[in-house]
Structure 1
Amino acid sequence: MNEEKKPDDLSDEDKRRHPRFPLRAYADLQYSTKKWEAHVLDLSESGARLAILGEHLLQKGDPLRVHIQLEDINLLTSPKKQLSLHGRLIHVREHLLGFEFQPDTPVDKTLLYELLTQIENGH
């Protein structure tokens, strides 16, 4: 049964520009002057799924800064142990957040690609 999907049947998964890879890491979320701890659940070149720890009033569209801690991930070449990203929330379901982002600096962009390559290759 190979039914073809019509464009308006596309799910969230199908709309993504980049594949997501599972990643378990700690992160700090920052919105204005507020801060939360979160767990990263998965990551792509332009987005992440996060589980926020604690109460929040964040809403879709809110601008966020996210710092992913990489101390526990053995990156081969980078001495940098924190990936800094900025973007906005694209969905909020209780404590699960969808975050669309861009790396803060060229160094963060390189770190992101290196991290995704390692995850993809199973390291």
Structure 2
Amino acid sequence: MSSEPDNSEPLNAEKRRYPRFTLRAYAELQYSTKTWEAHVLDLSESGARIALLEEHLLQKGDALRVHIDLSNVNLVASDKKRLDLHGRIVHVREHVLGFDFQPDTPADKTLLYELLMHIENQ
């Protein structure tokens, strides 16, 4: 994990409210009754870039639930090892999705902030 903000998409940088940080983690995406395995590429307080490992027909605007596996991240304050998020796809570029999200619960919000602080301090 790197603490450097991801500036790989400069055209979208002015739209972002929060800096993105590189994160490599497994995730599960759910849309309706379908589920995909995915990799999280980067993360901020309100968005993520996620690569799907399988073919999909997801489109901008689709509502998703995303579960990020944090079992390989050593967080101090939380025993929770899965970050649960819900939101919408904001862009699709082949197998990479831009995802604008909110944490599912107050515990997920706390876990998200702890994760971001952990990444930033690496």
TM-score, normalization by structure 1: 0.90
* Identical counterparts, % of pairs: 73
Shift of 1:79: 0.6
Q: Which aligned pairs between 1:1-123 and structure 2 lie closer than 5 A?
A: 11-122=11-122
Q: Secondary structure at the match of 1:15?
A: coil
**In the TM superposition, what is the alpha-carbon distance from 1:77 to its structure 2 partner?**
1.3
Following the alignment from structure 2 to structure 1, what is the Cα–Cα distance between the partners of residues 86 and 64? 6
Partner of 2:7: none
RMSD between aligned alpha carbons?
0.8
* Secondary structure of the corresponding residue to residue 84 of structure 2: strand
Measured in 2, the distance between the counterparts of 1:112 and 1:33 equals: 26
Deviations 1:46-90 (A, max 9, x none): 000000010100000000000000000001110100000000000
**Bigger mean CA deviation after superposition, 11-20 or 84-93:** 11-20
TM-score by length of 2: 0.91
SS at match of 1:12: helix
Gaps of 5+ in 1: 1-9
Unaligned runs of 5+ in 2: 1-9
Distance between the aligned counterparts of 2:15 and 2:35, measured in 1? 30
Alignment partners' CA distance in 1, 2:15 and 2:120: 20
Amino acid at match of 2:117: T
